[in-house]
């Protein structure tokens, strides 16, 4: 019985350890646009970059989709070539995967990050005061 107990405790310990390692390794899943000024990126190193799509910045250029994202402080132009999720639109949060070069980010992978607001078609009962982020 002691043996079983030790196995069980070891197993639980391993799981807790593994989840802490996995979680802490992902403390920064993506960089914000301002943070790109502070980090050191080697040439052609792929990073993930997150921000909000600037209003009126989306356009098509050849096969590329060109737009600008911002975190409120710094804007970065995006040259995107890849699958565009349906929800992609102005003011939406996006996370892009690609290479940063001279303030232009060449990306080929996009995730749309939706916020925690849910507003239905008759959303007039919704009180916006409590939500300011």
Partner 1 sequence: MMLYGPLAVWIAISFFGPYDVTQGVYSKLLYIHVPTVWIAYLGYTLTFLYSVFYFFTKKQKYDSLAIANAKSGVIFTVITLLAGSYWGKQTWGTWWVWGDARLNLTAILLLVYLGYIASRQFNKDLGKTARNSSFIGIFGVIQIPILHFSVIWWRSVHQQASILSQETVASGDAPMSTDILVTLLISVLLVTLVHIFLTKIFRRSNDILWDDYLNPKSRAKI
Indicate the residue among 76 and 94 with the shorter CB distance to partner 1.
94
Q: Is 59 in the site for partner 1 (CB under 8 A)?
A: no
Q: Is 73 in the site for partner 1 (CB under 8 A)?
A: no
How far apart CA 18 and CA 11 sit, in angstroms, is: 10
Site for partner 1 in 107-126 (CB under 8 A): 110-123, 125-126
Q: Is 17 in the site for partner 1 (CB under 8 A)?
A: no
Distance of CA 76 to the CA centre of its chain: 14
Half-sphere exposure of 78 (CA within 13 A, CB side): 30
Q: Which range, of 38-46, 53-61, 63-71, 79-87, touches partner 1 by CB under 8 A?
A: 79-87
User: How many residues belong to the site for partner 1 (CB under 8 A)?
Assistant: 46
The answer to whether 114 and 87 are in contact (CB under 8 A) is: yes
Q: Is 16 in the site for partner 1 (CB under 8 A)?
A: yes
How far apart CA 88 and CA 53 sit, in angstroms, is: 9
The answer to whether 100 and 49 are in contact (CB under 8 A) is: yes
Q: Is 46 in the site for partner 1 (CB under 8 A)?
A: no
Of residues 105, 55, 48, the one with CA closest to residue 80? 105
Which positions touch partner 1 (CB under 8 A)? 1, 4-5, 8-9, 11-12, 15-16, 18-19, 22-23, 26-30, 48, 50, 83-87, 95, 110-123, 125-127, 129-131
């Amino acid at each position: 019985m002691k043996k079983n107990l030790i196995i069980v405790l070891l197993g639980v310990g391993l799981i807790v350890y593994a989840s802490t390692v996995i979680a802490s390794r992902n403390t920064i899943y993506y960089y914000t646009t301002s943070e790109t000024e502070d980090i050191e990126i080697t040439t052609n190193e792929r990073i993930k970059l997150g921000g909000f799509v600037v209003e009126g910045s989306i356009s098509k250029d050849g096969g590329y989709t060109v737009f600008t994202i911002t975190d409120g402080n710094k804007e970065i132009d995006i040259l995107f070539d890849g699958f565009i999720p349906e929800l992609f639109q102005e003011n939406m949060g996006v996370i892009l995967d690609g290479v940063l070069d001279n303030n232009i980010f060449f990306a080929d992978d996009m995730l749309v990050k939706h916020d925690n607001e849910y507003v239905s078609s008759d959303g007039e009962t919704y009180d916006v005061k409590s939500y300011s982020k």
